[in-house]
Amino acid sequence: MKLPSFRNKQAQESFPFPEDDTPDHIAIIMDGNGRWAEKRGMARAAGHKEGVATVAKIVRAAADARVKFLTLYTFSTENWKRPKTEVEFILKLPKEFLKSYLPDLISNNVRVEVIGDMGKLPVFTREAVQYAMDRTRDNDGLQLNIALNYGSRQEILSAMKAMLVDMNNKDVSLDELDEQKFSGYLDTAGMSDPDLLIRTGGEKRVSNFLLWQLAYTEFWFTDMLWPDFSEEEFLQALQEYRQRKRRFGGV
């Protein structure tokens, strides 16, 4: 599959609104691939494959907008319940995406990271994402977080276990614990919390995604299925975000 390249520097400089108005961190629940295919009388796998092209477009748009973190909900801990053939196909897509697109990510200073439990993923998936992480480790532009075998409840439970181990080892005391310290045990340690959550596909729920991190995130929902989601829709979400007043509990 031929994936689109990034726009050039001139396109970035002509972005429709100032960098200061752009969310630092955008999280996306990419919903609707299977339904997109079924509506067209195609196998669900075709929708997942089409969704890969949308990922390429939105990563490009986020980089153009100078977003610092883009977190994509790619495969959840609950997705193992799907038919085996569909699961196997989805878990091959990161390798396909990175094989085609990694050169552009490298040349455009994008850093690839993964959140979730990689230990349970197939070897070919782990090797592909690990290679991409190694090759982009020194990049300091957009950080693309691929959420693979990710579930927020499991993440929080694992963080609590790690924190208790440190407490038992006297590496941290009860008095030291606060929200910032606990956040350091999560998969997103070192990142800002999402400013904006986008969900495609018409559903209006967070589906076990970044439950701790979304405490004050702005939500933006669209009925558009993920394969149809465009750069224009992405810009519309950013434009609406700019118009919201974020008070964080204040007035």
Is 172 within the bounds of a domain? no
Q: What is the pTM of this model?
A: 0.91
Is 201 within the bounds of a domain? yes
Q: Which residues are annotated as a binding site?
A: 31-36, 44, 48, 76-78, 80, 82, 199, 205-207, 218
Rounded Cα distance, 206 and 66, in Å: 25
C-alpha dihedral over 80, 230, 67, 119, to 10 degrees? 10
Model pLDDT for residues 15-62, shown as the tens digit of each residue: 555 556 789 999 999 999 999 999 999 999 999 999 999 999 999 999
Catalytic option among 21, 79, 166, 208 = 79
Q: How many domains does the chain have?
A: 1
Quick one: tokens of 181? 């310290």
pLDDT average, residue stretch 130-154:
97
Q: Which residues are annotated as a binding site for Mg(2+)?
A: 31, 218
> Is 168 annotated as catalytic?
no
Question: What is the predicted pLDDT for the residue at 1?
Answer: 35
Q: Is the pLDDT of residue 205 over 90?
A: yes
Is 30 within the bounds of a domain? yes
Is 251 within the bounds of a domain? no
Rounded Cα distance, 57 and 64, in Å: 11
Rounded Cα distance, 27 and 6, in Å: 20
111-115 vs 143-150, strand pairing mode: parallel
Range of the domain at 34: 19-153+192-243
Q: Which residues are annotated as a binding site for substrate?
A: 32-36, 44, 48, 76-78, 80, 82, 199, 205-207
Instruction: Specify the higher pLDDT residue, 107 or 71.
Output: 71
Is 47 within the bounds of a domain? yes
Is 41 within the bounds of a domain? yes
Q: Is the pLDDT of residue 4 over 70?
A: no
CATH code, domain with 92: 3.40.1180.10
> Is 117 annotated as catalytic?
no
Is 147 within the bounds of a domain? yes
Q: Is the pLDDT of residue 14 over 60?
A: no
